[in-house]
Structure 1
Amino acid sequence: MFIGKNLNTIRMLRGYSRKELAGKINVTEQAIWQYEVKNLMPDIKNIYDLSQIFNVKTNFFLNDIHKIFDDDLNVKRSHIAFRSLNHNINNKIIYKQHMQAVFLNNLTNLLYGFLKVPDSLFIKLSSEVQNIIEKSGSRNDTIAEVAKVARNYLMPNEYSSKDLLFNLEKSGIIIYEKQIDEDADAYSFWTEDKKHAFIILGNDKNIAVRRSFDLSHELGHLLLHQNVEFELLDTKEYRVIEEEANIFASMFLLPEDEFKKDFDQINKKSNPDSYIMIKEKWFVSYQMIAVRAYKLNLISQQQYRYFWMSINKKGYKKREPLDDKLIIDRPMKIKSIFKLLFNNNVINIEKVLEEMHVEIDFLSEYTGIEKDFFKEYLSEKQNSSMFIEKNFKIKN
């Protein structure tokens, strides 16, 4: 029997409309509706085509769905800080990212269920931050204090944000890197029980200083905006929230006293190329350096204007010097947990794929972990089968 709910779940996870999916397997939109709602059995070819599109096994549509796909209501859509160039982003995209957030939370809980997980430093930091926020001083002063406290927790005795991603993972934040929609950079969320904080990074920028900013911006949302219902914000409110996260990021990455000392050493403060040593030391962009300096009254309005003219003239808006040399960090915690569980025979990849009714490509797509990592743990029998399927064809 075909289980239409399973098709609906996997379709929404990928972010396809019924019309889009219908076009991919050459059926009508009405047919997709009948598959999902009426449990109408597609023909064998269409079931196969669906499995290829979604990187699942054909029996994914014929068996009860694994609990990893369940919506346990612990990830609320309105609490996802989804950063996009367009505030009025398509509901379909928001729904897709919510579905993927639910999946990643369920996967993380599944993996953590096999482990004794250490107490989260980030939970402790978050609790202290909430006490700071409740004092209700000026918003800018509050953000400054939160940034200072966060830096003391997460990067004590460190100048550069080179190891920021590692430090955030070590503190307890769960970070994934995967394909996100074109006009979005990253997003973050707390689970409703406040046990886990997530940051989901896009994998298409590949610029180290951009990653530092993305991580710090999302960190700002996690600390400052725990209870904000982002989905309900109007455009003006959304801009305020985004600006607060930007301010936090600049204060967190470039603490005032230390930054002032370095900036005072620059002779030509309106020339972006004069910032190269600060960029290398602090792992931040020329543009962030200038914005921070301007907010601290370290450069005049005229110097600031000339700086941006130079940025545009030199083409630094898209890529700056050192962007091709500074090494970008990648999330490692979830991959390391998989490795630990595989190496100790707590779980094996064949059983994971069999129970979830998915292929390796599916796991790689949604976790951002390269396919070759999972393939290394396939048994010799499975590897042989994959070799045969790839290299041998049935004669017509």
Structure 2
Amino acid sequence: MEVKTNLKQVFLPERLKEARESRGLTIRELASEIGLNTHQALSKYENGKSIPPADVLLRIMNHLRFPYNYFFGEELTSQSDQIVFFRSKANTTVKLKKIHEIQITWLIKIFNSLEKTLEFPDSDLPDPLISNKDYFSPTDFKTIEDLALKTRRQWNLNNGPITDITHLFEKHGIVVSIVKSNTASIDACSMWEGSKLFILIGNERATPSRIKFTLAHELGHYLLHQEVKKEDFNKKEVYNRIEDEANYFASSFLLPADTFSEELISHNLDYYLLLKKRWQVSIQAMIFRSKELNIINEHQAAYLWKQIAKKGWRTKEPCDDQLIIEEPSLLKDAIELLVSHQVKSKKQLCNEFNLDPEDIASIANLPIDYFDDNKALGKLITFKRKR
């Protein structure tokens, strides 16, 4: 009897590397933690020079928390030229960036799987700026300001504060996820497939005002930096410029020049604090914006920064706890819809996504134990009823 095999189903060494890097481990660390005598064997598995024996693969799966099928499948197409845009601190490690880079590919994978069954909002974004140049060319700030206003007009927004930017983004086809993280070094990263923008917020402990600015910043990258090549992106001066441009877009989008200028009738911190409650934007972002628009001069800005430092507001501003906490709901609602209507079970979804249940729950902004089978078993012991 002839045994049929799927020749496309092969061990994927890239997946082993991805799984290890997603947990922030080096080859030596993982080899030691799963009890391998030498890290060279693990290196050979990742380089495709040999396939791990069943017992070793089982140890890897259990330690890294990945299903068996994650390591097998059709051969992957390389995405090495695709840029992941980060909003992060200067001291962020390569290891930490890699974790978030992998997580955003999981976000895309989960969305693409759900989209086969469900109808999501169409991407309704302005056309990105295209220069048709083979090299990076800076965009002037006037053009960026116009693009921010164009985006507001296209989305039928007035020039006032944006109450819930997360819901606004999801409504216009942007996929947003806020994952739990043990670090505050990375605010967010973003990628896109065609006209579909994906944003992963990597610091759920950030203040609502910072998350709002971060989302607008990542939209700026999509609209301004479609043509940036990897070799240019890795140049410090180019990277600094595109970050400045994305920040300027975020400021222009959240604080439209005409309206914000009219409302800024005083330049002391107490008045900025009053405006923070209305615009849901940080005091520091508003001071930057005031300087951009020449509402305040260098000396006034310097004085305000000294006052902020003196009050200890650089890391924690007042009234952060009074701002609206925004949460993405698109993926959460999608999964709950499929489960509640019994279109697919939780187990089926986990198998389709081919990821650890806790990773899926984190990315989809579900309770971390949402896919836990034991949760649904119910309690076996109750009080006796009186007869």
Give the TM-score normalised by structure 1: 0.81
Q: Residues 88, 167 of structure 1: CA spacing in aligned structure 2 closer, same or farther, 3 A cutoff?
A: closer
Per the alignment, residue 392 of structure 1 pairs with: none
5+ long unaligned stretches in structure 1: 389-396
- 1:18-77 residue CA offsets vs partner (Å, 9 max, x unmatched): 11212322323123235444113164xx555433332234x447x734x7xx7445x555
1:53 has 2:63 as partner? yes
Paired AA for residue 199 in structure 1: I
Instruction: Give, in whole Å, the separation in 2 of the partners of 1:327 and 1:238.
Output: 32
Instruction: Give, in whole Å, the separation in 2 of the partners of 1:142 and 1:87.
Output: 31
Q: Residues 319, 182 of structure 1: CA spacing in aligned structure 2 closer, same or farther, 3 A cutoff?
A: closer
Q: Counterparts in 2 of 1:231-380, with a 5 A limit?
A: 232-233=232-233, 234-264=235-265, 266=266, 269=267, 271-354=268-351, 358-375=355-372, 378=373
SS of the residue 2:129 aligns to: helix
SS of the residue 1:83 aligns to: strand
Instruction: Give, in whole Å, the separation in 2 of the partners of 1:226 and 1:96.
Output: 23
Per the alignment, residue 188 of structure 1 pairs with: 190
Per the alignment, residue 107 of structure 1 pairs with: 110
Instruction: Give, in whole Å, the separation in 2 of the partners of 1:95 and 1:216.
Output: 22
- 1:127-152 residue CA offsets vs partner (Å, 9 max, x unmatched): 2x437x78x99711110110111122
Paired AA for residue 186 in structure 1: A
Residue number among 48, 52, 71 corresponding to 1:40 in the alignment? 52
Paired AA for residue 52 in structure 1: N
C-alpha contact 1:160 1:282 (8 A) present in aligned 2: yes
C-alpha contact 2:113 2:352 (8 A) present in aligned 1: no
SS of the residue 2:320 aligns to: coil
What displacement does 1:230 show? 4.7
Q: Residues 228, 144 of structure 1: CA spacing in aligned structure 2 closer, same or farther, 3 A cutoff?
A: same
Instruction: Give, in whole Å, the separation in 2 of the partners of 1:274 and 1:336.
Output: 39
Per the alignment, residue 209 of structure 1 pairs with: 209
What displacement does 1:89 show? 5.2
Per the alignment, residue 64 of structure 1 pairs with: 72
1:18 has 2:27 as partner? yes
Between 171-180 and 155-164, the greater mean CA deviation after superposition: 155-164
Q: Which runs of 4+ in 1 moved over 6 A?
A: none
1:130 has 2:129 as partner? yes
Q: Residues 155, 285 of structure 1: CA spacing in aligned structure 2 closer, same or farther, 3 A cutoff?
A: farther
C-alpha contact 2:210 2:282 (8 A) present in aligned 1: yes
C-alpha contact 2:209 2:281 (8 A) present in aligned 1: yes
Per the alignment, residue 393 of structure 1 pairs with: none
Q: Residues 96, 107 of structure 1: CA spacing in aligned structure 2 closer, same or farther, 3 A cutoff?
A: same
C-alpha contact 2:361 2:370 (8 A) present in aligned 1: no
1:29 has 2:69 as partner? no
What displacement does 1:357 show? 5.6
Q: Residues 72, 336 of structure 1: CA spacing in aligned structure 2 closer, same or farther, 3 A cutoff?
A: farther
Instruction: Give, in whole Å, the separation in 1 of the partners of 2:325 and 2:230.
Output: 29
Q: Residues 306, 95 of structure 1: CA spacing in aligned structure 2 closer, same or farther, 3 A cutoff?
A: closer
What displacement does 1:167 show? 0.5
- 1:334-380 residue CA offsets vs partner (Å, 9 max, x unmatched): 111111111222221112334556542232244443224444xx5xx
Give the TM-score normalised by structure 2: 0.82
Q: Residues 4, 253 of structure 1: CA spacing in aligned structure 2 closer, same or farther, 3 A cutoff?
A: closer
1:84 has 2:85 as partner? no
What displacement does 1:174 show? 0.9
Instruction: Give, in whole Å, the separation in 2 of the partners of 1:138 and 1:190.
Output: 20
Paired AA for residue 170 in structure 1: K
**Percent of aligned pairs with the same amino acid:** 30
Instruction: Give, in whole Å, the separation in 2 of the partners of 1:167 and 1:97.
Output: 23
Structure whose residues are more often helix by fraction: 1
Q: Residues 29, 189 of structure 1: CA spacing in aligned structure 2 closer, same or farther, 3 A cutoff?
A: same
Paired AA for residue 106 in structure 1: K
C-alpha contact 1:78 1:232 (8 A) present in aligned 2: no
What displacement does 1:11 show? 1.9
Paired AA for residue 185 in structure 2: D
Per the alignment, residue 394 of structure 1 pairs with: none
Between 296-305 and 276-285, the greater mean CA deviation after superposition: 296-305
Per the alignment, residue 3 of structure 2 pairs with: none
Between 316-325 and 339-348, the greater mean CA deviation after superposition: 339-348
